[in-house]
Amino acid sequence: MSDDHILRALKDLREGRMVFIFDSDDREKETDMTIASEFVTPANIREMRKSAGGLICTTAHDDICRKLDLPFLADVLECNHDRHPVLKMLSPNDIPYDTKSAFSITINHRRTFTGITDNDRALTVSEFAKLAKTTQRMSDEEARAEFGKQFRSPGHIHLLNSTAQLLSKRKGHTELSTAMMVMAGVTPSATICEMMGDDGNALSKEKAKRYAERFDLCFLEGKDIIEYWKRNGKAK
């Protein structure tokens, strides 16, 4: 894939458009609808819900995770093994394509009602992105206090923690989409949703490509994002 295709995708992300990211034939074999969290609207949530159908999640760059003290959910559960022994038996130690889940906590913005409507989820996502941007100028203590002031947990938006040194170790959708946000120069948080097929499985790569072409949107493969990242890093 040419650099021009990646550059067009980065431009689309800066303009609040969707891009489609396929991870790998050797991994999940899934395509995620992807958009910069700071631009998410109720219409975007509705499109993901109706046309993708997977789990709508919001990623956080490692800098955001450390600033807000966002834990990995697996670590939270491990801390409660003594109190609830069943959690140890539920340990995610057999994921066939990964070594650790990216799942963090779930949140709702405090201005939401149930938190699940398109309006509520869009509010939670966009306000999380706004917080992630503004708290970079705060101390850790101030940032975490503001996080608690604005959000509650559990909620209906699943946060995903990116690993440190993006794409150096883990190459899942969390890292791929967050790396695209970094390179696009937007707040390093993506909102993503897996595309599901009517056969009960993930939508095939070929069908996901056709969907993207139908709406003149960019379709990227993880290997191309990784290669571009290695050559260009945080540029552009």
**Positions marked catalytic:** 32, 57, 97, 108, 156, 194
Residues 186, 40 contacting (CB under 8 angstroms) = no
What's the burial of 95, exposed, middle or buried (CB within 10 Å: 0-12/13-18/19+)?
A: exposed
Identify which of 159, 145, 169 has the alpha carbon closest to the alpha carbon of residue 72. Answer: 159
What's the burial of 128, exposed, middle or buried (CB within 10 Å: 0-12/13-18/19+)?
A: buried
In 42-130, the DSSP E strands lie at: 57-60, 103-109
Torsion angle in degrees (nearest 10) through CA of 8, 13, 17, 18: 90
Residue 198, beta-bridge partner list: none
Neighbours of 30 (CB within 10 A): 21
Listing DSSP states for 105-168 in one string gives: EEEEETT-SSS-SHHHHHHHHHHHHHHHHHGGGS-HHHHHHHHHHHEEEEEEEEEEEPPSSTTS
